[in-house]
Chain A
Amino acid sequence: GAGVSQSPSNKVTEKGKDVELRCDPISGHTALYWYRQSLGQGLEFLIYFQGNSAPDKSGLPSDRFSAERTGGSVSTLTIQRTQQEDSAVYLCASSLGGSAQMAQYFGPGTRLTVL
């Protein structure tokens, strides 16, 4: 079946602009995760959704970052007033949820470049 999809695959923006990144999880997966992969920081957790609520948003680096999930499906990660240090690959993952035993399946990522 279809895997996790993310759009856009690449995004180039200017410093100070807002960006929205989209994630479509695997159908039926109730849990959704956002991670960030950058050269200096490796793979970092950002936020976790169970259904439409976010029990863990401890990884969001600043209040410029926010995320929402609607209908228990699609999620959008928004970065306001982008900075050059926001440049990274943003990865989305989904799982059946309900337990950390459920393996997370990752999308191909969105490469964000802030000029």
Chain B
Amino acid sequence: AQSVTQPDIHITVSEGASLELRCNYSYGATPYLFWYVQSPGQGLQLLLKYFSGDTLVQGIKGFEAEFKRSQSSFNLRKPSVHWSDAAEYFCAVGGGHNTDKLIFGTGTRLQVFP
């Protein structure tokens, strides 16, 4: 069965520091992978997605993610975090048989200190 693990429940970084949020997935075939961000009281916004091809994908707001099949990982990165990046981040996998549903990880809450 498909599953997504986000090992870090809560991460705190200083503004301007680099960021890496971890995501590991379990899937029987080539997964479709997504990162979403949810600001307080807001809906989910798509940051980036991976389907095939170049394993390093660029997203909005300066985020990027790298697909590593050998490690079953799809970690999200940003070279320099801004205070406005404080939010909850969700990794998701899709592409199951006869369904387009997404399976989400439990999320990582990012706190940014000035």
Chain B interface size band reads 20 to 34
Check A100 against B43 for contact (C-beta < 8 Å): no
How many angstroms from the CA of A95 to the CA of B106 in the assembled complex?
22
Residues of B contacting A45 in the complex (Cβ-Cβ under 8 angstroms): 101-103
- Determine if A103 and B46 form an interchain contact, defined as CB atoms under 8 angstroms apart: yes
CB pair B102–A55 under 8 Å, yes or no, is no
Nearest Cβ in chain B — how far from A53, in angstroms? 12
Residue of B32, B95, B101, B106 near A59 (CB, 8 A) is: B101
> Once the chains are docked, how many angstroms separate the CA of A50 from the CA of B99?
9
Q: Which of A12-50 contact B (CB under 8 A)?
A: 31, 33, 35, 42-43, 45, 48, 50
Which residue of A has the minimal Cβ distance to B100?
A100
Chain A residues bordering chain B, tally (CB within 8 A):
28
Please name all residues of chain B whose beta carbon is closer than 8 Å to the beta carbon of A99 when the two chains form the complex: 100
Contact B32 A101 (CB under 8 A): yes
Instruction: Tell me if B101 and A43 are in contact (CB < 8 A).
Output: no
Which chain A residues numbered 69 to 89 have a C-beta less than 8 Å away from chain B? Answer: none
Is the beta-carbon distance between B46 and A100 smaller than 8 angstroms? no
Residues of B within 8 A of A43 (CB): 90, 92, 104, 107
The 6 closest A-B pairs by CB, nearest first: A100-B95, A43-B104, A56-B99, A106-B44, A45-B101, A100-B94
Cβ 8 A contact of B100, one of A48, A107, A109: A48
Partner of A91, one of B43, B99, B103: B43
In the assembled complex, A105 has its CB within 8 A of some CB on chain B: yes
Question: How far is A48 from B46 in the complex, measured between Cα atoms in Å?
Answer: 19
- Note all chain A residues with C-beta closer than 8 A to B107: 42-43
Provide 8 A-B residue pairs closer than 8 Å at the C-beta atoms, listed in order of the A residue. Answer: A33-B100, A42-B105, A48-B99, A56-B98, A100-B32, A104-B100, A106-B45, A109-B43
Nearest-neighbor residue (CB-CB) of A98 within chain B: B100
Other contacts beyond A31-B100, A33-B101: 13, CB < 8 A: A42-B107, A43-B92, A43-B104, A48-B101, A55-B99, A56-B99, A58-B99, A91-B44, A100-B94, A100-B100, A104-B34, A106-B36, A108-B42
* Closest B residue to A109 using CB positions: B43
